[in-house]
Structure 1
Amino acid sequence: MADLILIFVAGVFGGLLNAIAGGGTFITFPALVFIGVPEIVANATSTVAAMPGYLSAAIGFRRDIAELDRALLLRLTGWTMLGGAIGSGLLLISSNAAFAVLVPFLLLGATLVFLRGAQVREWAARRRGAVTAFGAGSMVPVAIYGGYFNGGLGIVLLALFAMWGMTNLHVMNGLKSWLSFALSVVSLAIFASGGKIVWIPAIVMALGTIIGGLAGAPVSRRIPMPALRILIAAVGFGMTAVFLWRLIA
């Protein structure tokens, strides 16, 4: 019961952070590991638990998503699911020992991307034309990363959209939410078929993410964004240090 309470609370805070600024993975993934879930299963379960939050966010941005060409949206969704399937498949064939070695560096990279998200998007915007707009050559690799490790995916997607030349942040956030949901759906199917999801914790955490996601809007009006970003970055760096210590201890 104590474990379920812990992961429910982690889900609430993770959903809250994802709704406001991102970084929910820094809470949900470590919480599952700390109750004894192996790293690969914890990563898969954390990704699946975030799915309801992605869907609710996409519904909230449905009018903005509707501004996109239907054929383009379907094409991007297909490429995202393809890349997500590859990344999720790679996770299935990874050993817990190998993944445990990667975890501190994945968390560190995701934290740095989150902390420098605005600069990353500005840099990407200056490089418009460096990649084929809305091309599979850029979408699929990002989706592979998302299927393998979900942390920081939102910031990476926004940077990619900026490189494509997109400027409407509401449309970008809507597309980010929809593609993240599509990726998590295919990840769910693959992780479930591979037996990599602990269902009771996943359901409890998902309920928490829904509550946190719904609370995101009113809470965001009361917390200064700079302070929140510092808090999330501190959690990210802290979790990086903890997992690095676990690796070398």
Structure 2
Amino acid sequence: MTVAEAVVVLLAGVAAGTINTVVGSGTLITFPTLLAFGVPPVTANVSNNVGLVPGSVSGAIGYRAELRGQRERLLRLGSASLVGGTAGAVLLLVLPSAAFDAIVPGLIGLGVVLVVLGPTVARRVAERAALNGGLPEHGAAWVWPAVALAGVYGGYFGAAQGVLLMAVLGIGVTDTLQRHNATKNVLAGIVNAVAAVVFVVAADVDWALAALIGAGAVVGGQLGATVGRRLPPSVLRGVIVVVGVTAIVAFVAG
């Protein structure tokens, strides 16, 4: 790899870390970049996943103020991300890519629709829950399995995992959008971390590429936390929709 190519990968890591912290889908920048430099798809996927783990940690630290008071919620939903992320990483290694990639655009599209309809749906869910004593503190009963399914998707590929998580949290958990974003960063980080462990043990990781992406993603995580926290809910929701639609177009075009 030339110095120029290394710089491009590093900058792609910065961009991915920023986008992942704000909404997710940073993989749509780093993964195509690695493919453009001739890295085999599976190697690119696993190396990218390993490289983005430090960025997830950086983003979560950047949102630490919004994480206060969420310990029990994070422990509960984090277990779902742990299970789902492990399953998704194993699927990547044992299944043909076409078997799962065929439904990726549909999953992202569902996430975008849920984000758009989230406020209305969440209001109706809350109204109905109020008749039964209110939603549980850590979300409706279906939130845990939904987070686990998002983890399966995230462990397999990861692009737009944040869109799906924000949709689930926005509808099933009563809290502010910024606190949901902080929770999303932790849950996505758990998925990336557990998938990275599986890949390190059982797959071919290009450590030079992973290191470049990781270094850039750490910087991007801090930038994303600064930018994301300043976005009002309507703008943040709009960013999520734009990223989600872009992800769908990228998959279909690819």
TM bucket, shorter chain? 0.7 to 0.9
In structure 1, runs of 5+ residues without a counterpart are: 244-249
Distance 1:204 1:79, change over 3 A: same
Where does residue 239 of structure 1 map in the other structure?
250
Counting only pairs closer than 5 Å after superposition, residues 85-124 of structure 1 correspond to structure 2 as: 85-94=86-95, 98-99=96-97, 103=101, 106=104, 108-109=105-106, 112=109, 116=113, 118-122=115-119, 124=121
Q: CA deviation at 1:101?
A: 7.1
Instruction: State the SS of the aligned residue for 1:175.
Output: helix
Q: 2: distance between equivalents of 1:64 and 1:230?
A: 22
Residue 242 of structure 1: how far off its partner (Å): 4.5
SS of the residue 1:89 aligns to = helix
Match of 2:167 in 1: 159
Which residue number corresponds to residue 49 of structure 1?
Answer: 51
Shift of 1:176: 0.9
CA distance, structure 2, for counterparts of residue 167 and residue 73 of structure 1: 13
Distance in 2 of aligned mates of 1:18 and 1:8: 15
SS at match of 1:151: coil
Distance of aligned partners of 1:141 and 1:237 in 2 relative to their CA distance in 1, 3 Å threshold: closer
Residues 1:84 and 2:85 are matched in the alignment: yes
* 2:14 equivalent to 1:6: no
CA displacement 1:97-131 (0-9 Å, x = unmatched): x315754752x346645755631533652456699
Contact kept? 2:23, 2:162, Cα under 8 Å: no
Residue number in structure 2 paired with 1:23: 25
Tell me by how many angstroms 1:173 deviates: 1.4
Distance 1:81 1:232, change over 3 A: closer
- Per-residue deviation at 1:209? 1.7
The equivalent of 1:75 in structure 2 is 76
Q: Which amino acid letter does the alignment assign opposite residue 78 of structure 1?
A: S
Aligned-residue offset at 1:194: 0.9
Distance 2:76 2:47 in 1: 27
Structure 2 residue identity aligned to 1:60: G
Give the CA deviation at 1:239.
Answer: 3.0
Tell me how large the CA RMSD over aligned residues is: 3.3
Distance of aligned partners of 1:74 and 1:66 in 2 relative to their CA distance in 1, 3 Å threshold: same
162-171 or 173-182, which moves further after superposition? 162-171
Match of 2:119, as an amino acid?
Answer: E
Cα distance, 1:156 vs structure 2: 0.9
Partner of 1:180: 188
| Alpha-carbon distance, 1:148 to partner | 1.1
Over residues 142-191 of structure 1, what are the superposed CA-to-partner deviations in whole Å (9 max), with x where a residue is unaligned?
A: 21111112111112111111232322223211111111111111111101
Change (3 A) 1:120 1:57: farther
Equivalent position amino acid for 2:64 in 1: R
8 Å CA contact 1:49–1:202 kept in 2: the answer is yes
Aligned counterpart for 1:213 among listed residues 213, 217, 221: 221
Q: CA deviation at 1:58?
A: 1.3
Aligned to 1:202: 210
Give the equivalent residue in structure 1 for 2:65: 63
Secondary structure of 1:50's partner? helix
Give the length in aligned residue pairs: 237
- For 1:39 and 1:24, locate their aligned partners in 2 and report how far apart those are by CA, in whole Å: 16
What is the TM-score of this pair, normalised by structure 1?
Answer: 0.78
For 1:239 and 1:197, the matched residues in 2 are separated by: 24
CA contact (8 A) 1:132 1:164 kept: yes
Identical columns (%): 28
In structure 1, C-alpha distance between the alignment counterparts of 2:241 and 2:172, rounded to whole Å: 29
